[in-house]
Amino acid sequence: MLVPSSGTGQYAALSAKIIRFVRHGCTNRPFFHIVVAERRREQFEPVIEQVGSYDPMPNERNEKLVSLNLERIAYWLGNGADCTKPVQELLGLSGFLPIHPLSYMAAWKNRQAAEAAVVEEKPEGDHK
């Protein structure tokens, strides 16, 4: 029996639930489903419900596309589900949750790297 990747809706009542990624791409082409699953299950086992998707590779307009079913995410968070850090970051960037500290850290590291690159480009004696 094949199980739909959108979820089976079956779960143990008292098990820990988690909202996390499942990698549904292929080699060198990542694509993630955002799913609600039982925490003890492995990545490719049947999930309870799919609540979104995430394409981490930028398209031709330099966009990383995310879709989220916010109603269901709110429902599952209200019923005791946890999120993994990457999902928390995505939800923070989408404005549903506060922005995750890891996002801030990534941002300032990128900023520092960019500044360093600018400094490196200019010759030593050139700057004011």
SS3 (DSSP) at 77: helix
The nearer residue to another protein, 1 or 117, going by C-beta atoms, is 1
1 binds another protein (CB under 8 A): yes
Single-letter residue type at 86: P
In the complex, the smallest distance separating the C-beta of residue 62 from another protein, rounded to whole angstroms, is 27
Element (H, E) at 75: helix 70-78
3 state SS of 105: helix
What is the distance between the alpha carbons of residues 64 and 93, in angstroms, rounded to a whole number?
12
Site residues for another protein, 56-95, by CB under 8 A, read 74-75, 77-80
Subset of residues 103 to 122 that bind another protein, contact rule: CB under 8 A: 104-105
> What DSSP element (H or E) covers 88?
helix 85-94
Contacts with another protein by CB under 8 A lie at: 1-3, 5, 8, 10, 42, 44-46, 74-75, 77-80, 97-98, 100-101, 104-105
